[in-house]
Amino acid sequence: MSDARALPTAEELRALQKPLKQLYRDEPEQALVTSSASVNLADDGIAAVIDGAGGRSRAGLHPVAGGDGSEACSADILLEALAACAGVTLRSVATAMRVTLRSGTIRAIGTWDGRGTLGVDREVPVGLTGVRLEFALDTDADEATTAKLLDLTEQYCVIAQTLHAPPPLEVALVRE
């Protein structure tokens, strides 16, 4: 069974979003969203089980940190979220701009150094130190239109903007 949904027209997208935009202008507090994700520690191995919107998956150690490669590493999950967000945003922006995309692939590539993660060298940062988004698009749009499409995609992609300007992170122990 296919998950394919019909791509809305620019007019349909505008009609869908118009009342939301007006609501958020009139009542800005209605636009505030609290998103969350949680994992359970796996009973076996150094892993966490994610019961997410996309189903169940396991996150574990990357081979550079001692894993066997059978589980997703956290950097991969972050990059997947970035690529997915960019893809949804790109589709939305292309629809609004009336740009036809016959197909496309968005690839998020991140670089990190295992020495930081393993505490081998305290001078090496822990985490991603570089991220690149690559877009391969099958479209008849000209270069200027494609450049505008990518600029707007970056501007409105929640994950890309979060990485550009990270919010404060609070870590807390909650007793259950």
From 72, 98, 131, the end of a domain falls on 72
The structure tokens 């590539």 sit at 109
Q: Is the pTM of this model over 0.85?
A: yes
User: Which of these ranges, 5-9, 12-16, 105-109, 138-142, has the smallest mean pLDDT?
Assistant: 5-9
From 47, 72, 97, the end of a domain falls on 72
Domain assignment present for residue 5? The answer is no
Per-residue pLDDT tens over the stretch 68-103: 999 999 999 999 999 999 999 999 999 999 999 999
Per-residue pLDDT tens over the stretch 110-140: 999 999 999 999 999 999 999 999 999 999 9
The average pLDDT across 155-166 equals 97
Domain assignment present for residue 8? The answer is no
Domain assignment present for residue 15? The answer is no
Looking at the 3D structure of the chain, how many domains does it have?
Answer: 2
Residues 52 and 110 in one domain: no
Sheet holding 39-41, edge to edge: 39-41, 47-52, 55-60
The average pLDDT across 137-144 equals 97
Give the residue with greater pLDDT, 150 vs 45.
150
Residues 55 and 78 in one domain: no
Domain assignment present for residue 11? The answer is no
pLDDT at 6: 86
Residues 65 and 137 in one domain: no
Task: Tell me the CA distances in angstroms from 112 to 117, 144, 145, 154, one per residue in order.
Answer: 9, 33, 33, 22
pLDDT band (50, 70, 90) for residue 154: very high
CA distance 70 to 76: 12
* Residues 6 or more apart whose Cβ sits within 8 Å of residue 109: 79, 131, 132, 133, 134
Residues 137 and 56 in one domain: no
Domain assignment present for residue 82? The answer is yes
pLDDT at 1: 45
CATH number at residue 79: 3.30.300.20
Give the residue numbers spanning the domain of 65: 38-72
The SS3 assignment for 83 reads: helix
Residues 113 and 132 in one domain: yes
pLDDT band (50, 70, 90) for residue 2: low
Domain assignment present for residue 121? The answer is yes
Per-residue pLDDT tens over the stretch 11-70: 999 999 999 999 999 999 999 999 888 999 999 989 999 988 888 889 999 999 999 999
Domain assignment present for residue 33? The answer is no
Residues 93 and 159 in one domain: yes
